[in-house]
Structure 1
Amino acid sequence: MRKILVLVAAFISLQAVAQAPKKQGQRHKEGRQTMMNMSAEDMATLQTKKMTLMLDLTASQQTEIQKINLENATKRKAIMAEHKAKKESGLLQKPTQEEKVARMHAMLDHRIAVKAKMKKILDKEQYEKWEKAQKRMAMKMQDKKNGMQKRHAHKE
């Protein structure tokens, strides 16, 4: 009887290990794939609704922010499509230092412009809440980036 219980326990533990959850990289890849399949309008609408819930936006604020989010989503979709096309054609190369600097300048200029637009649309309390959320997201992205760098360093 004891041997049977040991065998059953071993079988159950093997089943639990065999059904391990997906790794974080797989989930990230699936989420990225979902974003690629979404239209820019859908992405902008989802982002606007999330912001409406977080910041309690008025109807006019929602309309203005929808425009900003649509513009951002359209740019993001174009960049992702360009990157995917280069990758599939084999033309994707590591950017030069000048290209990296130019990309960073463009990104920061865009962030500054978005921040100025948001400051005009949101009231003081909403703007502060939005800024805190932006900082949290930036820290999260930085942590993620640092985690990836550590993993790549261990592989080498």
Structure 2
Amino acid sequence: MKKLILTLALLTGVLLSAQEMRPRMHKQKHSDLTAEQMAVLKTKRMALALDLTDSQQRQVQKLNLEQQELRKSRRAEMKARREGNDEKPVSTEERYEHELDRLNSMIAFKAQMKSILNQSQYEKWERMQMHRKKNSRSKRHGHRRMGR
């Protein structure tokens, strides 16, 4: 019985270390793509998942482009702020304004998506958003699901 337990423990250890040694497939950084390229890719993924019409694709691509340009400009602002030598701490008021701006932007985007998509597409899109948010949280905190 002891040999069986020892063998199982060793086998488990070998399997776990083999998984860690396997090269992980990371998404390529999209920082080298333009905002337009990223918007096109995101729109194409959405078109496949939600079965968008041509008209919907054009509208969604416009929204995605606006979002990508906004993200790029915000990243550039943050980068410039971090690189500034006379960096002062961010005040509570600045943090509040930034978060308020971000949330208002998200609300507006969601309302625009609701006006473009039909009911079933919108419901599926919301499920996709929730799934994406759930997965990004677990990756940020280092949690991984076993068996996937």
Shorter chain as normaliser: what TM range?
0.7 to 0.9
* Distance verdict in 2 for CA 1:20–1:115, change over 3 Å: same
The residue number in structure 1 matching 2:58 is: 63
After superposition, give the CA deviation of every residue in 1:65-91 in whole Å (9 maximum; x if it has no partner): 000000000011111122222333345
Alignment of structure 1 residues 2-151 onto 2, 5 Å: 20-21=21-22, 27=26, 31=28, 34-91=29-86, 94-145=89-140, 147=141
RMSD: 2.8
**Partner Cα separation in structure 2 for residue 123 and residue 111 of structure 1:** 19
Q: Size of the alignment, in residue pairs?
A: 127
TM-score, normalised via structure 2 length: 0.73
**Partner Cα separation in structure 1 for residue 23 and residue 68 of structure 2:** 28
Q: Which amino acid aligns with 2:133?
A: A
Asked whether the equivalents of residues 83 and 92 of structure 1 are also in contact (C-alpha less than 8 Å), the reply is no
The structural deviation recorded for 1:35 is: 1.7
**Partner Cα separation in structure 2 for residue 20 and residue 104 of structure 1:** 39
The structural deviation recorded for 1:135 is: 1.1
**Partner Cα separation in structure 1 for residue 82 and residue 34 of structure 2:** 21
**Partner Cα separation in structure 2 for residue 60 and residue 71 of structure 1:** 17
Unaligned runs of 5+ in 1: 1-12, 151-156
Q: Which amino acid aligns with 1:20?
A: M
**Partner Cα separation in structure 1 for residue 38 and residue 87 of structure 2:** 26
Q: Which amino acid aligns with 2:113?
A: M
The structural deviation recorded for 1:115 is: 0.9
TM-score, normalised via structure 1 length: 0.69
Asked whether the equivalents of residues 61 and 122 of structure 1 are also in contact (C-alpha less than 8 Å), the reply is yes
